[in-house]
Structure 1
Amino acid sequence: MIAGLGLTGTAEAASTSGTAQPAALTSNKIYRSGTAAAMRCPLPGIKPGSAVSVKRFQQALARCADRFWAARFKAAGLRYSPPKLHITTGKRSVCGTITTNGAQYCPQQRTVAIRIMKRDLRDQIKMNLAHSVAHEWGHHVQELSGILDAQNTLYWRSGKTRRAALSRKLEMQAECFAGVFYRAAFDSLDSDITWAQWINGVKQSRESKVHGKPRNLAYWQDRGYDAGSAAACNTWTAPAARVA
């Protein structure tokens, strides 16, 4: 149902067994940002085969994600600033080549880069197109809240195995943050699939060494959606089986 699902991100991380983890990861203020009410996002329609309409849809959803996270950061006593957004049909962005997954977050430039792929023009399931925005905004939340810096410090002090585990925790947290956003904005998407169908599709997506097992990615996204709060998204203290 959700062929070509791109689960993306640029920050890498590692497991920290036996190592004290910084408060920026385990007790970040963003976890205390409360539960958001449903919000209305004015989103344009998508025309089959039209990259322009895909771009407009993603730009509008990005504005919605900014409104959502600005309110959550304010509730947590944190300062929010929107990322730059670069949407293209080409391969290049301000942070280099855009991956074949189609989207990435560039922390140094605080930029979300999205590449509209040919598959996006053929198979325009709105949730696939929306997820490029929702997931990468999750990484921006990690950047602004200090989570990316904290995990980056641990990453470079760790060996290969621990780095791989940190990467998975980071990506699964971004999935959870995306789920929190979806809880407030899902009705606005006017999606052609239900939430349950979407989560089932995530479970069946391709496994990635960086992102982890699809069933766990689905678990964290669904957990964020069910809770409607970033409090549900502390992957750093989760059991190993949930971040494998």
Structure 2
Amino acid sequence: MKWRGRRGSRNIVDRRGRSGGMAGGAGIGGAGLIVIVLVGWILGVDLTPLLGQLDGSDIASGGEITQADEDAADFVSVTLADTEDVWNTIFRDQLGTNYEPATLVLFKGRTSSACGGASAATGPFYCPTDQRIYLDTDFFVTLERRLGAGGDFAAAYVVAHEVAHHVQDELGILGEANNIRRRVGEAESNAISVRIELQADCYAGVWAAHAEDMFGSLEAGDIDEAMNAARQIGDDMLQRQSGGVVVPDSFTHGTSEQRQRWFRTGYETARMRSCDTFGSNAL
């Protein structure tokens, strides 16, 4: 992905190097586990199955900002700016309305959000309460080393997926879906969550197609990186990696095949109307 030297977003709040507003040391306590379960409702990347592999040394509590941290922050800023330009155009051309961009909060180790605590263990997520995306750039290391999804466009796919949740929020889709989830049983709630997440994957594909046309930023192999990331963070793959049994009723994000297919659908059509996972009988 060609990103260096390009415009960055102004819609970033940089909390790195500050106190994160969460008490305690580096380990995951009981409250931290509850937070992980709660943000799973809106989490773009569900790391819950991997919690058993983590210990206190895996969760930072701040620390020095390295050059790698700065490079990752610059990359996120450019990617976020690309999503702003793309969704401004799509909202105008396909929906006839204006797009209000999301704010992205960068942190290192842990911080607080209107949806609860955020840490390295929760992964990036979108909080509809404050309309902000929360991202610890160390997650990109997790994405590559733990999940086997390296490459800058794999990271861009993650950012685009979280922005897609904001798009859903702007359109009223996310609020309506989550209101229904609160009134139904666990299995049905999980099924609705899968449709939310697959639509976000599809919207990420729509973004990729428009970014390619508008900026010429995609390079050979970039789509393959995104497809591999979608595969590695499928519910079935994560459950297998955690050594557990694959339980479809517990899925909240979709299988690897589903996530790849819906991203591909968005990329190949470049149209939001192709991403109606709620009206599709076959996911």
Q: TM-score normalised by the shorter chain: which range applies?
A: 0.7 to 0.9
* Larger relative contact order (Cα-Cα within 8 Å, sequence gap ≥ 6): 1
Correspondences of 1:87-236 after superposition (within 5 Å): 87-95=106-114, 96-98=116-118, 100=121, 102-117=123-138, 120=141, 123=144, 125-186=151-212, 188-191=216-219, 193-196=221-224, 198-207=226-235, 209-236=251-278
The 3-state SS of whatever aligns with 1:235 is coil
RMSD: 2.6
Change (3 A) 1:67 1:9: farther
Quick check: 1:168–1:210 contact (8 Å CA) kept in 2? yes
CA distance in structure 2 between the partners assigned to 1:196 and 1:153 by the alignment = 35
| Structure 1 residue 106, shift from structure 2 partner | 0.6
| Structure 1 residue 200, shift from structure 2 partner | 4.4
Quick check: 2:83–2:163 contact (8 Å CA) kept in 1? yes
| Structure 1 residue 83, shift from structure 2 partner | 1.1
The 3-state SS of whatever aligns with 1:50 is helix
CA distance in structure 2 between the partners assigned to 1:11 and 1:122 by the alignment = 18
CA distance in structure 1 between the partners assigned to 2:233 and 2:175 by the alignment = 29
Unaligned runs of 5+ in 2: 1-38, 44-65, 145-149, 239-250
Partner residue of 1:18? none
Unaligned runs of 5+ in 1: 1-7, 13-47
Quick check: 1:10–1:105 contact (8 Å CA) kept in 2? no
Q: What TM-score results when the alignment is normalised by the length of structure 1? A: 0.72
Task: Determine which of 58, 74, 96 is the counterpart of 1:77.
Answer: 96
Computing the radius of gyration from Cα coordinates, the structure with the larger value is 2
Quick check: 1:84–1:112 contact (8 Å CA) kept in 2? yes
Change (3 A) 1:197 1:134: closer
Change (3 A) 1:115 1:192: farther
CA distance in structure 2 between the partners assigned to 1:118 and 1:198 by the alignment = 15
Change (3 A) 1:102 1:119: same
Bigger drift between 59-68 and 193-202 goes to: 193-202
Cα-to-partner distance string for 1:86-143 (whole Å, 9 max, x where unaligned): 1122221423322525210010101011111165399561022212310011000000
Quick check: 2:161–2:200 contact (8 Å CA) kept in 1? yes
The 3-state SS of whatever aligns with 2:278 is helix
Task: Determine which of 229, 239, 242 is the counterpart of 2:281.
Answer: 239
Quick check: 2:126–2:132 contact (8 Å CA) kept in 1? yes
Q: What TM-score results when the alignment is normalised by the length of structure 2? A: 0.63
Partner residue of 2:33? none
The 3-state SS of whatever aligns with 2:135 is strand
CA distance in structure 2 between the partners assigned to 1:121 and 1:214 by the alignment = 18
Number of aligned pairs?
A: 199
What amino acid sits opposite 1:229 in the alignment? R
Quick check: 1:86–1:93 contact (8 Å CA) kept in 2? no
Change (3 A) 1:127 1:71: same
Quick check: 1:102–1:132 contact (8 Å CA) kept in 2? no
| Structure 1 residue 84, shift from structure 2 partner | 1.2
Quick check: 2:123–2:139 contact (8 Å CA) kept in 1? no
Cα-to-partner distance string for 1:196-240 (whole Å, 9 max, x where unaligned): 454245334452622121110101000000001111100001124
What amino acid sits opposite 2:134 in the alignment? A
